Amino acid sequence: MSLEAHNISIAFGGLKVLKDVSVAVQPGVITGLVGPNGAGKTTLFNCLTGVAQPQQGVVRLDGEDISVYPLYRRIQLGVSRTFQTPRLDLDASVLDAVMMGFYSRNKPSLFGAAVSLPSRRRLERQLRAQAERLILQFELTADPYQRSGALSLGRLRLLEVARAIASSPKYLLLDEPAAGVDEHDRALLAKAIRRAAGDEIGVLLVEHNVGFIAELSDHMVAMVRGEIVAAGKPHDVVRDEQVVTAYLGGHRVAA
């Protein structure tokens, strides 16, 4: 049981962005993927979510080869993601944004959408209540009908996590969730991520902010220039020579 990238290689023209990279996300485990800019983190992330396809290697979901599945199918199979820049309709309400997350598991048929049967209305009431609970749990806003655009960047990231949780994922992949987020919202985000892992969701965090990830993750992977240079306990990875060199340009400092 895992979401894994197996010996992935990708080159853009002559530039090898990923060289034979393998990573596995286990249920209930928070895996942190760190590396300086240009390390290939986002490309690896895109391979796992289906935005990019590997030129070599395979992506497996619980043993099934999903390398060529498009993004929308992976969501249906339980691989949810958030975006570096939150993507949502800023004019729609917070409730509407969270409700959107239920689509992949509760999509009505074309005919079912055009007629309003009592069973559908019941389902929608249930989902609405569930969305309101998520909004409360994530401490997004006191008013579910508030415009999403009125939230801070941190809350928008949190909103994306809530929306991803609404799709009942088996694996949750977060692309730089802590970038540009203040202390308070970052604490809320950490709480939400821990809770997801507690619910047996496998979490992959991609960040270049090492501090946030080292504190949060159970397992840490460091990438430099398209290769994995260190993997293991966060405590060990942040002290790894190559990681320190990549981040600090060769000068060792006491951690």
Partner 1 sequence: MTGYSKWLGSVGLLIAAIAGVTLLGEFRPSVYSTSTTIGIFALLALPLGLLYGQGGTVSLAQGAFAAIGAYTTAIITTRFGLSPLTSLLPAVVLPALIAFIIAKPILRLPELSLALVTLSIGTVVEVALQRGGDLTGSFNGINGIPALPFVGTSRIRAHFVVWTVVVLLVIGYVNYMSSLRGRALNAIRTDHLLAQAMGVNVALDLSLLFAITAGLAGLGGWFYAHTLGYVAPDSLSIALSANVLFMVVLGGRKSVLGPIIGAAIFTLASDFLPGTESQGMFFGGILILVLLFSPDGLMTLVPRRWRQRSTSVAALSAKPNPVVPSGAVQ
Sheet strands (E) in the chain: 3-12, 15-25, 30-34, 56-61, 64-65, 79-81, 171-175, 202-207, 219-224, 227-232
**Smallest gap, in angstroms, from Cβ of residue 11 to partner 1?**
23
Within a 13 Å sphere around the CA of 138, how many CA atoms are in the beta-carbon half?
Answer: 31
Which residue, 35 or 101, has its beta carbon nearer to partner 1? Answer: 101
Which residue, 24 or 92, has its beta carbon nearer to partner 1? Answer: 92
Kindly indicate which of the ranges 97-105, 178-186, 232-240, 242-250 contains the residues binding partner 1, using the contact rule CB under 8 A. 97-105
Pick from 27, 28, 38, 108: which binds partner 1 (CB under 8 A)?
108
DSSP category for residue 150: G
Nearest to 83 by CA among 3, 190, 163: 163
Q: Kindly report the number of other CB atoms within 10 A of residue 64's CB atom.
A: 9
Which residue, 31 or 49, has its beta carbon nearer to partner 1? Answer: 49
Interface map 158-197 toward partner 1 (x if CB under 8 A): -----x---x------------------------------
Which tokens is 241 given?
């020579």
Pick from 15, 145, 250, 253: which binds partner 1 (CB under 8 A)?
145
Nearest to 228 by CA among 204, 253, 246, 216: 246
Alpha-carbon span 133 to 80, nearest angstrom: 20
Alpha-carbon span 149 to 94, nearest angstrom: 9
Q: Does 209 bind partner 1 (CB under 8 A)?
A: no
Q: Does 126 bind partner 1 (CB under 8 A)?
A: no
**Smallest gap, in angstroms, from Cβ of residue 37 to partner 1?**
22
Q: Does 129 bind partner 1 (CB under 8 A)?
A: no
Which tokens is 199 given?
């619910």
The residues of the shown chain that bind partner 1, judged by CB under 8 A, are 49, 51, 70-72, 75-76, 80-81, 83, 87-89, 91-93, 95-96, 99-104, 106-108, 110, 112-116, 120-121, 124-125, 127, 145-147, 163, 167
